[in-house]
Structure 1
Amino acid sequence: MERPVLLCGLGRVGWRVLDSLRAAGLPVVVIDIKADPNDPRLAGVTAFKGDCRRHELLEQAGIKDARGIVIVTSDDLVNISTALLARKLNPTTRVVVRMFNQNLIARFGGAVKNTVALSVSALVAPVLALTAVTGDALGAFKLDDGPRQISELVATEDSELIGQRIADLAAAHGFTPLAFVPVQGDPQFLLNVNGSATLAPGDRLIVCGPPAALQKLLQRLRGDLLAGVKWAGTVRRWVRTARRTLLEVDLSVKIITPVLFVTLLISTLTFRYGIGTAWGDGLYQTVSIIATGGELHGENKPEWAKVFISILKLAGAALVAGFTAILTNYLIRARLGGALEMRRVPDGGHVVVCGLGNVGYRLVQELTAMGERVVAIDKENDGPFFETVRRMGVPVFVGDATVPEILRQARSDSAKAVIAATSSELGNIEIALLVREMGPKQRVVVRLSEPEFAEAVREAAEIRHAMAVPALAAPAFASALYGDSVQTLVSAAGRTLVIIDLVVNDADDHLNGKSLRAIVLDYALLPVALSGRDLNDVRGYRLKVGDKLTVVAELPDYERLLRLQRPAAVSRVVVDTFPATAMGVLATHVRLQRGCTVEEASAIMSQLPFVLNEGLTRGEAQELTEQLEREKVVTRIE
């Protein structure tokens, strides 16, 4: 019997992790303080009711023989306690633990052997950010040269995809097909996707590629002709800032400031035309009298000038004292943060993030890393991430995003997208509806908890990007059971696909020296990256120490590779005919494959058909025939 996986916690995330573990075909034992073994949702699953921190309950659930334990309660202390107890009871089992505390995530995983700590916010933020920027994302993973997005292309009746070959589309837009689901016929996955197939109405194509490349195609398919345009608008932003700043200034400040400047102007004109001083000297003497009451040696001045200077001294002292008092009082009470933030808000093409909790903060990080302009809105100005986000250069408005005026100040109507990521699902729905009122075609990404509710919102309210966060994060918890090399799991057309980093660590690694092409064929792997090399130029390449190969595979095939299950070596390659031009190349192959002399190779080649090599895996045989076909040698695999 296959060793089970223990799942501790059946909250919103826990139920979705259970679904992912079931989809992967893994036997599961559940421990939850409120678990009901008669719950129909737990059909086929062994369930224990109780506190997962009790060692006798863990032992009863089978921790000592478990292949792994996934701990996803909503309490960090409970999760850490259970993880440490599980490690004590089974020193070798894989431990996957959910964490809220951002500082503990990396440290805990590094301190406890064979343990990985995951954060829901860190897992879902890349997908939500890519959805906001591109309009569609099934999943995301990272390569050395940047992120990759997994999206679905649907060939509608009037789509530009109709009649195009899959291979031509992939070359034109820089993506890799993962699955092809035709309206008529069976789905095709990974290596079996027929690049020569042409798309018909209703066909679906699941692909992965750089977000920037996919974004342009997805926007065209949706008809977003000007999506993502970032207007310069510098002057307009300054005008908005000045206008709003003036509106927020107290009336007393508005009165005394013009009076002061009018006094300066009248006095400067009097000195210039009445006494005959230069413009500069007139302004200098005016300021000196008003600001310092300085003596100008006016004994030789006309009588009227002496009276004017005296009045100016008295009026200046009163004006300066009044202006200083009123302005100081205003600045102490003023809240100009919002007005100053207005200057940094683009006129369009930015992304508005509502809510700066764990998810919101991660979203800001992801979006800024992608080079997007971001504007944030949060209710509180004393949150844990508020000042950090501001120091990142992101404008932050303090206010309730469910208030239309706040959304207008953030220019939500002309933004590339608005992400409602607050902790209130009702608030997120309200934000989405308000934004849709401002612009019916505006893209809104809504954070929700329940997949069923998210689906209802998508269908009934026509909010296409209502996304259930637990459902997005759950596959990563399941994939973490297979090791740190698994980036994520993706559900595509009813199959579970896994994105893996295969690293050749040392000379004893089972991948070292193996043919890349043979491994890909034997384990049905779809390569997407190899240590920065161009995958179009790896013919005959053999893996070496230090290589990192990122592949997509179906979960059963990855498990075969993980368990080092070598494919059956029962294939042989038979040569039927060959042209005279290929004789030299073929003779070399015969000598290498059969380990014979030149004379023996000639004798073998003279008797067609002949067996070139046998005892090969299917991948090794296929690679050998592909090499010979380039020389016009006709072969077959038996």
Structure 2
Amino acid sequence: MERPVLLCGLGRVGWRVLDSLRAAGLPVVVIDIKVDPGDPRLAGVTAFKGDCRRHELLEQAGIKDARGVVIVTSDDLVNISTALLARKLNPTARVVVRMFNQNLIARFGGAVKNTVALSVSALIAPVMALTAVTGDTLGAFKLDDGPRQISELVAAADSELIGKRVADLAAEHNFVPLAFVPAHGAPQFLLAVNSDATLSPGDRLIVCGPPLALQKLLERLRGDLLAGVQWASALRRWVRTARRTLLEVDLSVKIITPVLFTTLFMSTLIFRYGVGTAWGDGLYQTVSIIATGGELHGENKPEWVKVFISILKLAGAALIAGFTAILTNYLIRARLGGALEVRRVPDGGHVVVCGLGNVGYRLVQELTTMGERIVAIDKENDGPFFETVRRMGVPVFVGDATVPEVLRQVRADSAKAVIAATSSELGNIEIALLVREMNPKQRVVVRLSEPEFAEAVREAAEIRNAMSVPALAAPAFASALYGDSVQTLVSAVGHTLVVIDLLVNDADDPLNGKSLRAIVLDYALLPVALSGRDLSDTRGYRLKVGDKLTVVAELPDYERLLRLQQPVTASRVVVDAFPPTATGVLATHVRLQRGCTVEEASATMAAVPFVLRDGLTRGEAQELTEQLEREKVVTRIE
């Protein structure tokens, strides 16, 4: 019987991880503090109710025979405790842990052997950020030479794409076609995409490539005119800043400030024209008398001047005391911070991030790395990431993003995009609808949990960028059991495409020594990167220990690879004809493939057609055929 996987925690992420493990054909044992073993959704799954930190419960669930443990509760302490206990009870099992604490994510996996720590926010933030920036991102992943995004190109009737070959577009814009959906005909995916096809109106291409290159192409196709941050003229900007700052100031401050300055001005006039002092001296005498109670310089002052100075001393003392008390009280209540933030908000082209939790902070990091201008909104001014985000140079407004006035203050209507990433799904939907009401064409990215709900929001509310966080992150936890890394999943034309890093860990790895071309063909994988090598020069390459192969596959094909389901070895290569120039090369192939002598190889080649090799997988047969075709040998696969 196949060794099971222990899944600890059946929250929103846990259920999606369970679906991924089932899809991979793995036996699963669930431990959860609230699980109902009779739940019909657990059909075929053994479930234990209780605390996964209990030594006896883990043993009862079969920890000592488990191939791996996936821990995805919503408490970091529970996850860490369970991971350490699981490592103690089974030193060989691979442990995959969900983490919220940013400092522990990288350190915990490195400190505990054969353990991987993953963050849901880190997995989904790149996708949400690229979606906000480009508006057409279906997924995102990272390679050693930088990020890649997956987007859809639509060939409209007046589009520049019309009449161009898929291969030419790919070369011009540095992208890899993942799917081709003709307006009339069946869709083509991955290796089956016809690179010689010419685009017609209504055709669609799913492609992946560098974000900058794709963003420029997408902006041209959409006709975007306002791609960058928009700043008004200096005069208009400062007028707007002054007006907004004044509106933020308390009424009491607005009253006492002009009273104080009016007093200073009137006293300076009296000294200038009544006493005969210079303008500078008059102002100096006024400030000196009000602030310190000093006397007017000079002798033989008229009686009216003495009276005026006495009144000025009394009025000045009262004004200074009142002004200081009111202004101090205003600053203590931190109302000025919001007023000063206003001047840092562009007129348009920025990205508004609503919510500064784990996901919101990761979004700010990703967007900052991409060079985007960001404005953030959060309800609390004492959150764990609040000051950190401000130190990054991002203006942060304290307020409720579901209040229209707050959204208007950050100019959400003219922003490049608004990301609703708070912890409240209802609040995120409310933010999206408010923004769409302010600007029906505004790009809104919404963080949600349930995939079905996200799909309903996309279809019914026409908020096309509603994303299910657990659905995007769950496959990464399942694939981490194998040492692989699922970077993203993409839904395209009813098919699910998955981007995976396949790692050849050691000499016993099933991929070690395998032909890259044969694996690609047998499992229908589309390679996009290989350990820094140029994929155009991998002819005859065999994978070795330390290689990292990044591929795109349809989900069922990846599940076959996860189960190490061996492809059928029923293909054979038949040689029908060959030119005299290929005799030497073909003879070498015959000897190697059939394990025969030179004489036996010559006898075999004399009887054309002949079977060069049988018992091959489809990929191995295709690879062998391609090698022979380069020598002008006529072959076929049966």
If the TM-score is normalised by the length of the shorter chain, which range does it land in?
0.7 to 0.9
Report how far residue 414 of structure 1 moved. 0.7
Q: Map Cα deviations across residues 354-387 of structure 1 (whole Å, 9 max, x no partner).
A: 1222222222222222221111111111112211
Task: Look up the match of 2:273.
Answer: 273
Q: Map Cα deviations across residues 309-354 of structure 1 (whole Å, 9 max, x no partner).
A: 8887787677666655554455445620110110111111111111
> Does structure 2 conserve the Cα–Cα contact (< 8 Å) formed by 1:448 and 1:468?
yes
Q: Map Cα deviations across residues 99-155 of structure 1 (whole Å, 9 max, x no partner).
A: 333333333333333222222222222222222222233332211222222334456
CA 359–460 in structure 1, closer or farther in 2 if over 3 Å, else same? same
Structure 2 CA distance for aligned equivalents of residues 46 and 420 of structure 1: 38
CA 547–22 in structure 1, closer or farther in 2 if over 3 Å, else same? closer
Bigger shift: residues 299-308 or 487-496:
299-308
Structure 1 CA distance for aligned equivalents of residues 571 and 461 of structure 2: 57
CA 94–602 in structure 1, closer or farther in 2 if over 3 Å, else same? closer
CA 210–457 in structure 1, closer or farther in 2 if over 3 Å, else same? same
Q: Map Cα deviations across residues 468-497 of structure 1 (whole Å, 9 max, x no partner).
A: 222222222222222154434555556554
Structure 2 CA distance for aligned equivalents of residues 491 and 303 of structure 1: 90
Structure 1 CA distance for aligned equivalents of residues 57 and 307 of structure 2: 98
Structure 2 CA distance for aligned equivalents of residues 519 and 591 of structure 1: 24
Structure 1 CA distance for aligned equivalents of residues 505 and 59 of structure 2: 35
Bigger shift: residues 236-245 or 470-479:
236-245
TM-score, length-scaled by structure 1: 0.81
SS of 1:177's equivalent in the other structure is strand
CA 491–441 in structure 1, closer or farther in 2 if over 3 Å, else same? closer
> Does structure 1 conserve the Cα–Cα contact (< 8 Å) formed by 2:483 and 2:503?
no
CA 361–95 in structure 1, closer or farther in 2 if over 3 Å, else same? same
Structure 2 CA distance for aligned equivalents of residues 278 and 352 of structure 1: 53
> Does structure 2 conserve the Cα–Cα contact (< 8 Å) formed by 1:98 and 1:117?
yes
Q: Map Cα deviations across residues 2-52 of structure 1 (whole Å, 9 max, x no partner).
A: 433333333222222222223333333333444445433333444444444
> Does structure 2 conserve the Cα–Cα contact (< 8 Å) formed by 1:93 and 1:114?
yes
Q: Map Cα deviations across residues 432-484 of structure 1 (whole Å, 9 max, x no partner).
A: 22111111111222222222222222222222222222222222222222215
CA 545–35 in structure 1, closer or farther in 2 if over 3 Å, else same? closer
Bigger shift: residues 154-163 or 121-130:
154-163
CA 397–504 in structure 1, closer or farther in 2 if over 3 Å, else same? same
> Does structure 1 conserve the Cα–Cα contact (< 8 Å) formed by 2:63 and 2:90?
yes
Q: Map Cα deviations across residues 144-193 of structure 1 (whole Å, 9 max, x no partner).
A: 22222233445677766565433233233332122345566555332222
> Does structure 1 conserve the Cα–Cα contact (< 8 Å) formed by 2:24 and 2:563?
no
Bigger shift: residues 448-457 or 256-265:
256-265
Task: Look up the match of 1:420.
Answer: 420
Q: Map Cα deviations across residues 407-447 of structure 1 (whole Å, 9 max, x no partner).
A: 11111111111122222222222212211111111122222
Structure 1 CA distance for aligned equivalents of residues 333 and 89 of structure 2: 61
CA 496–86 in structure 1, closer or farther in 2 if over 3 Å, else same? farther
> Does structure 2 conserve the Cα–Cα contact (< 8 Å) formed by 1:23 and 1:496?
no
Structure 2 CA distance for aligned equivalents of residues 414 and 241 of structure 1: 17
Q: Map Cα deviations across residues 238-288 of structure 1 (whole Å, 9 max, x no partner).
A: 333322322344555445544555565566667777888776666666656
Structure 2 CA distance for aligned equivalents of residues 425 and 252 of structure 1: 39
Report how far residue 298 of structure 1 moved. 2.7
Report how far residue 71 of structure 1 moved. 2.5
> Does structure 1 conserve the Cα–Cα contact (< 8 Å) formed by 2:573 and 2:636?
yes
CA 288–592 in structure 1, closer or farther in 2 if over 3 Å, else same? farther
SS of 2:128's equivalent in the other structure is helix
> Does structure 2 conserve the Cα–Cα contact (< 8 Å) formed by 1:504 and 1:548?
yes
Bigger shift: residues 56-65 or 292-301:
292-301
CA 438–485 in structure 1, closer or farther in 2 if over 3 Å, else same? closer
CA 508–252 in structure 1, closer or farther in 2 if over 3 Å, else same? closer
> Does structure 2 conserve the Cα–Cα contact (< 8 Å) formed by 1:233 and 1:347?
no
Report how far residue 404 of structure 1 moved. 0.9
> Does structure 2 conserve the Cα–Cα contact (< 8 Å) formed by 1:179 and 1:207?
yes
CA 306–8 in structure 1, closer or farther in 2 if over 3 Å, else same? closer
> Does structure 2 conserve the Cα–Cα contact (< 8 Å) formed by 1:298 and 1:306?
no
> Does structure 2 conserve the Cα–Cα contact (< 8 Å) formed by 1:233 and 1:346?
no
Report how far residue 93 of structure 1 moved. 2.2
> Does structure 1 conserve the Cα–Cα contact (< 8 Å) formed by 2:226 and 2:349?
no
Task: Look up the match of 2:215.
Answer: 215
Report how far residue 577 of structure 1 moved. 6.7
CA 362–296 in structure 1, closer or farther in 2 if over 3 Å, else same? same
CA 161–29 in structure 1, closer or farther in 2 if over 3 Å, else same? farther
> Does structure 2 conserve the Cα–Cα contact (< 8 Å) formed by 1:24 and 1:555?
no
Structure 2 CA distance for aligned equivalents of residues 73 and 270 of structure 1: 75
Structure 2 CA distance for aligned equivalents of residues 322 and 56 of structure 1: 69
**Does the alignment pair 1:432 with 2:446?**
no
Structure 1 CA distance for aligned equivalents of residues 309 and 51 of structure 2: 87
Task: Look up the match of 2:497.
Answer: 497
CA 188–47 in structure 1, closer or farther in 2 if over 3 Å, else same? farther
> Does structure 1 conserve the Cα–Cα contact (< 8 Å) formed by 2:498 and 2:552?
yes
Bigger shift: residues 241-250 or 377-386:
241-250
SS of 1:576's equivalent in the other structure is strand
> Does structure 1 conserve the Cα–Cα contact (< 8 Å) formed by 2:487 and 2:501?
yes
CA 217–23 in structure 1, closer or farther in 2 if over 3 Å, else same? farther
> Does structure 1 conserve the Cα–Cα contact (< 8 Å) formed by 2:6 and 2:66?
yes
Bigger shift: residues 329-338 or 468-477:
329-338
Task: Look up the match of 1:315.
Answer: 315
Task: Look up the match of 1:335.
Answer: 335
> Does structure 2 conserve the Cα–Cα contact (< 8 Å) formed by 1:33 and 1:49?
yes
TM-score, length-scaled by structure 2: 0.81
Structure 1 CA distance for aligned equivalents of residues 632 and 512 of structure 2: 31
**Does the alignment pair 1:104 with 2:96?**
no
CA 44–198 in structure 1, closer or farther in 2 if over 3 Å, else same? farther
> Does structure 1 conserve the Cα–Cα contact (< 8 Å) formed by 2:473 and 2:488?
no
CA 358–317 in structure 1, closer or farther in 2 if over 3 Å, else same? closer
Give % identity. 90
Where in structure 1 are there 5+ consecutive unaligned residues?
none
Q: Number of residue pairs matched?
A: 638
CA 495–37 in structure 1, closer or farther in 2 if over 3 Å, else same? farther
CA 177–592 in structure 1, closer or farther in 2 if over 3 Å, else same? same
Structure 1 CA distance for aligned equivalents of residues 334 and 7 of structure 2: 53
CA 115–222 in structure 1, closer or farther in 2 if over 3 Å, else same? same
> Does structure 2 conserve the Cα–Cα contact (< 8 Å) formed by 1:178 and 1:189?
yes
CA 216–338 in structure 1, closer or farther in 2 if over 3 Å, else same? same
CA 637–464 in structure 1, closer or farther in 2 if over 3 Å, else same? closer
SS of 2:615's equivalent in the other structure is strand
CA 112–417 in structure 1, closer or farther in 2 if over 3 Å, else same? same
**Does the alignment pair 1:535 with 2:518?**
no
CA 20–588 in structure 1, closer or farther in 2 if over 3 Å, else same? closer
Alignment of 1:18-97 (within 5 A): 18-97=18-97
CA 566–326 in structure 1, closer or farther in 2 if over 3 Å, else same? closer
Structure 1 CA distance for aligned equivalents of residues 563 and 331 of structure 2: 69
Report how far residue 535 of structure 1 moved. 3.4
CA 509–345 in structure 1, closer or farther in 2 if over 3 Å, else same? same
Structure 2 CA distance for aligned equivalents of residues 541 and 49 of structure 1: 49
CA 250–101 in structure 1, closer or farther in 2 if over 3 Å, else same? closer
Report how far residue 564 of structure 1 moved. 8.2
Q: Map Cα deviations across residues 44-97 of structure 1 (whole Å, 9 max, x no partner).
A: 444444444455554454444433232323333443343334334433222223
> Does structure 2 conserve the Cα–Cα contact (< 8 Å) formed by 1:479 and 1:487?
no
> Does structure 2 conserve the Cα–Cα contact (< 8 Å) formed by 1:24 and 1:496?
no
